[in-house]
Structure 1
Amino acid sequence: MDNIRTEFNRLFRGELCSDIRRETRELISNLVKGVCEIFWELPCQVELQRPNNPSLDGGVPKLVSVVTEYCNKLLGDKNKPVLSKILEIDLGWKKEKYQEEILIGHIYNILREIALNLDAWSSSSKETALSYIFMMNNHSHFSALYVKESWGKLLSLLTIKSQPARRKRARESIKRTLQDFATGFDEIYTKQSDWVVEDERLRWKICQAMVRTVVPRYKSYLQSYIMLLVEEDPMRPGNDLSYTPKGLEMKLKTMFQSKEETERTNKCSHFVNKVMDLEVTQNSHLTFEAI
């Protein structure tokens, strides 16, 4: 869109082309407003469908499959940058600043409304067994909501932002963030450590969703700021880390297991966290391994 607008301005410059430029601006404005109107209104539209019970045969309702597919496409590698740019333009016109958390948060708002619809539709069934089949067929939506509810607030700590000009102050800020993240992670892990998901395949899917959500954000934060920690102590740059990316991943994968499984996996995770993840070369460059 930016390329087209630039090309238009180049080809149709001058006073005689002012109407063409104006119509082009209106076209872009209408396009941005139309896309944003659909996107912002989608949670409300999903909620409005709640009283309209689908014919309950245990399958996935058309509304759920259509909206889910729509959200998946929005978050795809091809469409997400375009949508982000459109939202950035729309919010800029409103004197507001765009952040990626706005996009992701709104997608989860849509999923939350879908989950509430599913709950309402399941409860309306007179056949208890059929309602269970219905919820099992739609369980993936609740997995996504669980990840957002449990880890979304903690991940907001790992926002990459400009640091104070003085390197010492910047290092202290990074250390505090890492400490706060580790504390928050431990609190969530401890709280949920007694929760069990009996089905092995479902447990694997949930753990994979947590790993895909948490570990890349943590790794990206470390890669952005780790050299500041290296400057302070080149021989022990990971001294301020309670968790390495691989150690974090290993611990997430132990969640929802039985106590026996958790104890067995924790021994392996502790060893991996200490040995495999980080090594400092003779040039004091930090290398992430086994990620």
Structure 2
Amino acid sequence: MVDNAPVVAVAADGQETVTRNSLKPLEEMDNLTDEMFNIITELEAHYSDMTLLEGKRISDIKERVHRLEEKVLIWDSDQPMISDRDSEEMAKFLQAVDEVRQLIEHLGNLQSSDKHGEQIELLNCSHSIMQMAMSRLEEELVHLLVKYRQPVEPDNTSFRSAEEEIVHDYSSSSFDEESIDGKIQSDTDRDSEDFVIDLIHPSAISSLKSIVELMLLSNYDKECCQAYISVRKDALDECLAVLGMEKLGIEEILRMDWNVLSSMIKRWNRAMKVFIRVYLVSEKHLCDLILGNITRSETDNCFVESSRNSIMQLLNFGEAVAIGPPKPEKLFRMLDMYECLNDLLGDVEALFLEEYGSGILTECHEVLLRLSESVRGSFMKFKYAIQSNTSTTPFAGGRVHPLTKYVMNYIKALADYGKTLDLLLEDLDEKGPISVADDGGTDTSVHSSPVAWHLLSVTSILESNLEVRSMLYQDGSLQNFFMMNNIYYMVQKVKDSDLQNFLGDEWIRAHKRKFRQHATSYERASWSSVLSFLKDEGICSRGSSTPSTTVLKERFKSFNAAFEEVYRIQTGWFIPDVQLRDELRISISLKVLQAYRTFLGRYSAHLDGIRHRDKYIKYFPDDLERYLLDLFEGSPKSLQYPYWR
């Protein structure tokens, strides 16, 4: 009989109870009835059975803990990755770890007052085993994420990176270039960019999800997320490297040669679209796929933390470029960057929810603001560069000036950014009406969109600059020739581009009148003196109706000299536009040949029989017609004597 066998106690309310503390030996209970004795005997037997059962259960748990410890320790850190073996090995390990988890849960559910020293020891041992198992699972998670990472070559997406083109420096000191490197044309359309690719090979997804789920159930979600973030952060950095975006400091970017930086900006525009619409969309999908059993907030946080460094690297590049000094050559690249980021803003907002991605969204808006300021500043620098570009030397041959080519090609390229410029140039200046009428036309004031107003103001500034330059020529005919060439060039650029939509038909009509007026003034200044020798006035001596031979000789001789001088000079002048060149030649030919034929027909017979007649009548009309075709070719020639004589 055990010393502490249960006895019946009578409570204050008269009820009989059996308590462990009131148990006494049966021999000390002489006053027990037979019924009470039987009850006590049964309770004593039951208590003895419970003690034996508890001892057996503790023994079983010890054995179970020992068995699980062996299964976990066999895969210590010196062993190769479990996932590199067959899937059955991984399944066994995961099952063993899950048993440890369940055992801890079971031991933990026991009331603290019921826990024996052995139970506490088993619980601590189980926790130790779990820590080792979680450490191993974390290694397996990292290993799988790295091993099954899919190569992220551009050819795997819709991204096609063309060879970087050489970009010229179109600064205010580079007005000798005609071509302008304008808007970046998209390599892909919007729909083809936006899709999901497998960043992790599909064969590894099931194992990854199992590991994550077990770590989550074991309350190791923090460690799980940290490991995931670390690996995927490096993976996204690799994506940027594949897209050609190296890590550069702000100072490096600001010191960079413009040609190199311009190429990098082109690369940045392409990289931004692919990185956000392909890689980040795919990264978000992967994060949801693997970490989907974690709470929504934790999953979003993992994605944000994984991608924060890479997206901030791209945004920091944009900000570094934008804070550089505004220059005319930067305007197109700034517009490209602004349009690119503004177009992607909706995608960024969808990926980075405000709760966790607010910092990234704020930075996007900040970069957009800086880019808009850079656009406005660069545009004003462009205007100032036109105004301040002066010279003391006339441009040879009255050609189209490089400034005209640069400015017109510049604003022609700007027309592609019309909608964006309307937004960014609003209220840049105090805008008023701009007159587009020529000197002989009606003064028409134009009120239009911000970009149209500014483009009109640019052409007005350019014309004023050209007028000042034309005065550098001492020859009045060359002044008009120069203005005719340049205004005609401006008109053609507007007619053949989207500039027509901004400057309007009235601008074109007014400037057509302008270059025709300059053409007429040129002809008058160049050929009036030549044709003056073919007039009838003064041919006959006073009081006589017979032409004076002496006067005729002098007239023909003077005409020849004047024609040859104009020929010598104006073959060196140049009209680049074939149509304008032909039209001016025809106009001159009609006037010169008609006057020469008439004069020759009337007076050539009066020189018949004189000595050296060929010295005076050197040219036939057909000769002059051929010679006039040599004008405006930009290659000076001389007429010594008709080649066939």
Short-chain TM bin: 0.3 to 0.5
Q: TM-score, normalising length from structure 1?
A: 0.43
Q: Which has the larger radius of gyration?
A: 2
